[in-house]
Amino acid sequence: MVMESVVSELEGTLLKDPDPFSYFMLVAFEASGLIRFALLLFVWPVIRFLDALGMDDAGLKLMVFVATVGLRASEIESVSRAVLPKFYMDDVDMEAWKVFSLYDKRVVVTKMPRIMVEMFVKEHLRADEVVGSELAVTRFGFATGFISGDITSISSRVAKLFIDDEPSLGLGRCTSSFRFFSLCKEQMQPPFTTNENLHNHQLRPLPVIFHDGRLVKRPTPSTALLILLWMPLGIILAIIRIMIGIMLPMQAIPYVSRLFGGKIVVKGKPPPPISGSSSGVLFVCTHRTLMDPVVLSTVLRRKIPAVTYSISRLTEILSPIPTVRLTRIREVDAEKIKHELSKGDLVVCPEGTTCREPFLLRFSALFAELTDQIVPVAMNYRVGFFHATTAGGWKALDPIFFFMNPRPVYEVTFLNQLPAEATCSSGKSPHDVANYVQRILAATLGFECTNFTRKDKYRVLAGNDGTVSYTSIVDQIKKVVTTFKPFLQ
């Protein structure tokens, strides 16, 4: 049996956008910071000028140099693993991928450094080989900013992969600088169409469930400029919003926050406070950001303590509601939660960590063992510029980045309290109760349930199991000042 093979260009073919500039901007921002991000944007007109002169290779080399020089290769690899896949996936041309996925052997050609695309292309687009430029790295593990070899040699490297048989199909643009088309038996150019009669079991690429990084939108030149211009105002706005949450009574926060762009959408009927009961209500929430319990308390107009797992000490100090730090030792945590419920209502997020995508992680069953008064609450949020969660960054900055968004919107949907027959009091196992709550919350939000856990998330995004070693409050504050120092001078 002859193996059918395909060679496809990445930029402008499998990805809709032929310009990789925004992906280098992501590397600059996430692996280095604001200064390199601004510098790369500053040289963008020079890059465009070189492209207009037909010197595409020179423009690419300039992008690579500014975005990577002096960075550790491990940092670039971390961004490529945790941040870039989400933005790549949003830009995938599904029709091109359907054609690409029909073949047995799949090769992707890219002008970006291979380290930036290999993980995504192999794991999500299911490619077998990636041929791209190679980033030069010193023996100490730092990127020199230069590319090893000649970019034009990429086509010859493709040919070496097909010594015995030429590729069946080549996918790419007619304006591409790659010359692998001549190696292929057939050629196709965008736009692509697929035969609907072909039953391909791979209907979609493998979805991106976990991703990290602070930026919500792909930083094209115009978006990047808007972000930089907004930063100083955003920092001031975040400070004002945080002070409002700390200083004002909970009943006044919803009204005052509207004056500063915040919005909370409430669906369903919040349960009234229970009086004369020996145990409080346990609000079981989906976990989108650290603000979930704070927003819930704001909606209910009373401060409800929240169970926390691994937030920073600085975040605990800034929190307008009481927090109960768990140890992840099951027996100890169970006693803590029981003690808090004996005093009143409590908020818990049984996923154990946040997830940005429309997926719910596996729910811990501990909450179901401790009470039958369970009220599921579906939480979701929308932000324009910055994500309020991080796996590999500084968690102390999470609330600051959330409040730096121009118009953060939270959606809170209260479901009915679980009936007795759906709780452990009717003989159901804690795992069955937890899975049931996960399913109804996912159905409410239109999300998908998964069996992934906190450890799975941190292994993908940070290369560890999610264990946090806490630094002192002084160190946390120093990190905040260092990050925003260019805008405070």
- Model confidence pLDDT, tens digit, residues 312-350: 777 777 788 888 888 888 889 899 999 999 888 999 999
DSSP string, 269-327: -PPPPP-S-SS--EEEE--SSTTHHHHHHHHHTS---EEESS--HHHHHH-SS-EEE--
Average pLDDT over residues 426-439: 94
Q: Which amino acid is at 98?
A: K
Q: What is the pLDDT of residue 486?
A: 46
If asked whether residues 159 and 86 sit together in one domain, one would say yes
Single out the residue in 155, 188, 221 at which a domain terminates: 188
In a domain, 81, yes or no: yes
Average pLDDT over residues 234-251: 88
In a domain, 200, yes or no: no
In a domain, 482, yes or no: yes
If asked whether residues 247 and 175 sit together in one domain, one would say no
What is the pairing mode between strands 169-171 and 186-188? parallel
Count: domains in the chain: 2
Q: Which helix (H) or strand (E) holds 335?
A: helix 330-343
Q: What is the pLDDT of residue 201?
A: 47
Q: What is the pLDDT of residue 380?
A: 96
If asked whether residues 481 and 420 sit together in one domain, one would say yes
Tokens of 243: 């002070």
If asked whether residues 241 and 183 sit together in one domain, one would say no
Whether the per-residue pLDDT at 383 is higher than 70: the answer is: yes
CA 150 to chain centre: 34
Q: What is the pLDDT of residue 470?
A: 41
Q: How far apart are CA 32 and CA 72, in angstroms?
A: 10
Strand partners of residue 325: 308
If asked whether residues 166 and 239 sit together in one domain, one would say no
- Model confidence pLDDT, tens digit, residues 154-190: 777 888 888 778 888 889 887 776 777 778 888 888 8
- Model confidence pLDDT, tens digit, residues 351-378: 989 999 999 999 999 999 999 999 999 9
Name which residue leads in pLDDT, 103 or 194. Answer: 103
Average pLDDT over residues 36-62: 92
- Model confidence pLDDT, tens digit, residues 457-482: 999 888 776 555 444 444 444 444 45
If asked whether residues 313 and 441 sit together in one domain, one would say yes
pLDDT band, residue 1 (cuts 50/70/90): very low
In a domain, 446, yes or no: yes
In a domain, 219, yes or no: no
Q: What is the pLDDT of residue 437?
A: 97
Sign of CA pseudo-dihedral 238, 387, 77, 10: negative
Q: What is the pLDDT of residue 476?
A: 44
Tokens of 132: 């791209």
Calculated CA dihedral for residues 58, 61, 66, 70, nearest 10 degrees: -150
How many residues make up the chain in this entry?
489
* Among 410, 385, 404, 412, CA closest to 260: 404
Q: How many percent of the chain have pLDDT more than 90?
A: 58
Q: What is the pLDDT of residue 477?
A: 43
If asked whether residues 246 and 112 sit together in one domain, one would say no
CA 167 to chain centre: 36
Residues 6+ apart with CB under 8 A from 181: 170, 172, 187
DSSP state of 243: H
Single out the residue in 126, 155, 188 at which a domain terminates: 188
Q: How far apart are CA 489 and CA 477, in angstroms?
A: 17
If asked whether residues 153 and 284 sit together in one domain, one would say no
Q: What is the pLDDT of residue 359?
A: 96
- Average pLDDT of the chain, as a whole number: 87
What is the pairing mode between strands 186-188 and 105-113? unpaired
Q: What is the pLDDT of residue 397?
A: 87
In a domain, 223, yes or no: no
If asked whether residues 409 and 350 sit together in one domain, one would say yes
In a domain, 419, yes or no: yes
Give the HSE-up count for residue 361: Cα atoms under 13 Å, Cβ half-sphere. Answer: 23
Q: How far apart are CA 267 and CA 16, in angstroms?
A: 37
In a domain, 216, yes or no: no
Q: How far apart are CA 20 and CA 56, in angstroms?
A: 12
* Among 116, 156, 159, CA closest to 135: 116
- At 184, which CATH number? 3.40.50.1000
Q: How far is CA 10 from CA 88, 272, 286, in A?
A: 10, 55, 36
Q: Are 110 and 132 in contact (CB under 8 A)?
A: yes
Q: What is the pLDDT of residue 373?
A: 92
If asked whether residues 275 and 160 sit together in one domain, one would say no
If asked whether residues 180 and 319 sit together in one domain, one would say no
If asked whether residues 321 and 454 sit together in one domain, one would say yes
Q: Are 285 and 303 in contact (CB under 8 A)?
A: no
Whether the per-residue pLDDT at 4 is higher than 60: the answer is: yes
DSSP string, 83-121: THHHHHHHTB-HHHHHHHHTSSEEEEEEEEEHHHHHHHH
Q: SS3 of 386, please? A: strand
Residues 6+ apart with CB under 8 A from 168: 4, 5, 6, 103, 184, 185, 186
Give the HSE-up count for residue 485: Cα atoms under 13 Å, Cβ half-sphere. Answer: 8
Burial class of residue 445 (count of CB atoms within 10 Å of its CB; 0-12, 13-18, 19+): middle
Q: How far apart are CA 380 and CA 226, in angstroms?
A: 25
- Model confidence pLDDT, tens digit, residues 387-398: 999 888 888 888
Whether the per-residue pLDDT at 200 is higher than 60: the answer is: no
Q: SS3 of 222, please? A: helix
Q: SS3 of 148, please? A: strand
**Angle at CA 83, nearest 5°, toward 400 and 393?**
40
Q: What is the pLDDT of residue 327?
A: 83
- Model confidence pLDDT, tens digit, residues 119-168: 999 999 999 999 988 999 999 999 999 988 666 677 778 888 887 788 88
Q: How many percent of the chain have pLDDT more than 70?
A: 90
Q: How far is CA 92 from CA 23, 75, 89, 129, 272, in A?
A: 14, 24, 5, 18, 47
Single out the residue in 188, 219, 247 at which a domain terminates: 188
Domain that holds residue 382: 233-488
Name which residue leads in pLDDT, 43 or 257. Answer: 43
